[in-house]
A = this chain, B = another copy of it.
């Protein structure tokens, strides 16, 4: 018997899944039986670089982010995962090698957890999920491709504007240094750039 929170989370992810595939009652139950649930505190770590990635996370509330830390201690944000987004270290998940990114909450959050093994089983038991994740991956790929082109074409101000368009709900909640690290500038430069932009408008 599941708690109300779990029921709600299941409803939420099923609603998301149904945007791309249609499941019957049995398939829904198979899927939900593989999910677990967790509250995550602000700054809590779900995945450490160097350790094998064994889970995919679906955010039902709050926001996580994936990042790398370089030899100088600088963080580089690969992605933010607000509500209804999936996040994992895909490299580690599909290769079985140690993770290259860290996953951490940017605010107190709630996530659904799908283990690597359960995900593989799911593909076999309910092949529709091959399609589901194919579609998710396509969208994700388009997003990352656009980001690469933005990084090639745009200067820091323009990249920040893009970020604001893409994640309007995050602009107010994230630390500036996290946004700076996503668009690829230092916190100092980001701060100066922001005052410059505000002065103009």
Contact = CB atoms under 8 A, between A and B. Distances in A.
Interface stretch (A24-32, A143-151, A171-179, A190-198): A143-151
Nearest to A140: B141
7 contacts: A127-B127, A133-B134, A134-B137, A140-B141, A141-B144, A147-B148, A151-B151
Contact of A90 (B68, B94, B145): B145
Interface of A: 68, 70, 74, 76-79, 90-91, 94-95, 100-101, 123, 127, 130-131, 133-135, 137-142, 144-149, 151-153, 181, 184
Given A70-B153, A131-B123, A78 B144 contact: no
A144 B148 contact: yes
Given A130-B130, A144-B148, 9 more contacts: A70-B153, A77-B152, A78-B145, A90-B141, A90-B142, A94-B135, A127-B127, A130-B131, A137-B137
Nearest to A137: B137
Nearest to A146: B91
Contacts of A77: 152
A90 B142 CA distance: 6
Closest 9 CB pairs of A and B: A130-B130, A137-B137, A76-B152, A134-B134, A144-B144, A91-B142, A130-B131, A152-B184, A141-B141
A84 to B, nearest CB: 18
A163 to B, nearest CB: 13
A148 B148 contact: yes
Given A144-B144, A184-B152, A90 B138 contact: yes
A144 B76 CA distance: 15
Contacts of A123: 131
A3 B153 CA distance: 43
Contacts of A74: 153
